[in-house]
Amino acid sequence: MFAAQENLLEFGGDQFDSHLDDGPVQVNGQESRGDPLPSLIWEQRVRSAIETLLPDGEPTVRTIAEALHLSTRSLQRHLADEGCCYDLLLNQCRQNLALLHMNDPQSSLSEIAYLLGFTDTTSLSRAFKRWTGLTPGQYRNGLVR
């Protein structure tokens, strides 16, 4: 079988006379009517691309679309179909990553600002206060107590 000179599958002729059901196909327990099943939903794909590109500066929707091999309009349409938009995802990614990095006392504000694509620590501080109601210093002091 393995390391054989040739590969061969043999079927009896009567197997080709049977009719296949034209109903919906079950894939991983979910019905599919011929639509391709995405490996990841678009929201997750965009989040992943944002997190990858953030250290290079704030990625635009166009940059993310190009990274995903889509037109900007197609990406916006996919996200709208899932009930979200690019600006919301960018903001959520930054907020989640900011909280993650703020919990690490070894991470400086300038390092966090860089990792989140902010131009400076002032921009990070303003955004962080908008997200949490606290400055980064207040947040970190609260962690110490």
d(CA 145, CA 51): 30
Q: Which residue do the tokens 């903001």 mark?
A: 91
Each residue of 100-125: b (16+ CB within 10 Å) or e?
Answer: ebbeeeeeebeebbbbbbbeebeebb
DSSP state string for 12-35: -GGGGSSPPP-SPEEETTEEESSP
**pLDDT, tens digit (0-9, with 9 covering 90-100), for 62-82:** 999 999 999 999 999 999 999
Category of 14 on φ-ψ map: left (φ > 0), alpha (ψ -120 to 50) or beta:
alpha
**pLDDT, tens digit (0-9, with 9 covering 90-100), for 31-62:** 555 555 454 699 999 999 999 999 898 999 99
State the sign of the Cα–Cα–Cα–Cα dihedral 131, 136, 137, 140. positive
d(CA 97, CA 91): 10
Is the confidence at residue 13, as pLDDT, over 70?
Answer: no
Of all residues in the chain, what percent carry a pLDDT higher than 90?
A: 65
Identify the CATH number of the domain defined by range 42-144: 1.10.10.60
Higher pLDDT, 142 or 74: 74
d(CA 15, CA 17): 5
User: What's the pLDDT at 37?
Assistant: 46
Range with the lowest mean pLDDT among 1-10, 67-76, 80-89, 126-135?
A: 1-10
**pLDDT, tens digit (0-9, with 9 covering 90-100), for 77-99:** 999 999 999 999 999 999 999 99
Q: Which of 76, 75, 116, 112 is nearest to 92 (CA)?
A: 116
pTM listed for this prediction? 0.68
Of all residues in the chain, what percent carry a pLDDT higher than 70?
A: 72
